[in-house]
Amino acid sequence: MRSPIEQARLQARLLQSLLNDAKESLRPKKLMGTVQPFFGDERFQVYVAISDQGVIERNGASPPELMKADRVVAELTEKANAYQETQGIKGFVKFVKAGKEEAKRLEDHHVGPFTDQEMTSIREFLVSRCKPQRTTNPPPVAARTPAAKTRAVKPVSTADAGPSDAKMKCEACGVSDVEILYGRYGYYLRCRVCNQNQNVPQKCEVCAAKAKLRKKGPCFYRDCEACESPRLVHTNPTPVEG
């Protein structure tokens, strides 16, 4: 990306080119219609202001456009005062009496003023060329619901499922009087003897890959996608009716 100074210079050149392309309609000819005024370089001043608290590291370079924000007003005031020195009879007399260096300074600031009609034409021209881009939202696209992926689940055979009374054991007291419950963070194992809560292992007993726990009635199966080996891992005890 170009530096802010270079971007400002490009914008000034673009504006100058835009106005000169339409100079015939913006500035009437002078000297009985023989001279067409144009927009010269002296009419375009570039200023790049940074924060008053900012630090300018020039590194040997000193671009005249770069200055602190609190300096911009003073710079514009000096430019306006220097311009006023070149206007009217007093300006002409001062130019005639000036030495070489002073005459050069006055010449640099001598810019013919725009008439009220020219200012109106320039303003209307720029406004007419300003066409803000409208942000149009793209038409809504109907969301496509992806087709559910079906995966053949290997039937739970007697060999895969293990005994119908498959039980996990409590790691704290070693008893098998435990039940799998569902809580805030998913399934967990609760010992009905010592009331300790434990995590339910999520690894396949066959290939040690991560597996999902599936509940069907009081039975819990661990389905492994890696080896397609569903196994019955626990059966909750039947609640005792009081």
pLDDT digits (tens, 9 = 90+) for 3-56: 888 898 899 899 989 999 998 999 888 888 888 888 887 778 888 888 766 666
For the chain, the DSSP string reads ---HHHHHHHHHHHHHHHHHHTHHHHS--BTTTTB-----GGG----EEE-TT-----TT---TTEEEHHHHHHHHHHHHHHHHTTSHHHHHHHHHH--HHHHHHHHHH--PPPPHHHHHHHHHHHHHH--PPP-PPPPPPPPP-PPPPP-PPPP--HHHH--TT-----TTT--S-EEEEEETTEEEEEETTT--EEEPP-B-TTT--B-EEEEETTEEEEE-TTTT--EEEEEPPPPPP-
pLDDT digits (tens, 9 = 90+) for 95-128: 777 777 777 766 666 666 778 888 899 999 988 8
pLDDT digits (tens, 9 = 90+) for 183-228: 777 788 899 999 889 888 888 877 888 888 888 888 888 888 888 7
What pLDDT is recorded for position 241? Answer: 55
pLDDT digits (tens, 9 = 90+) for 130-171: 877 666 666 666 656 555 554 544 444 444 444 445 678 888
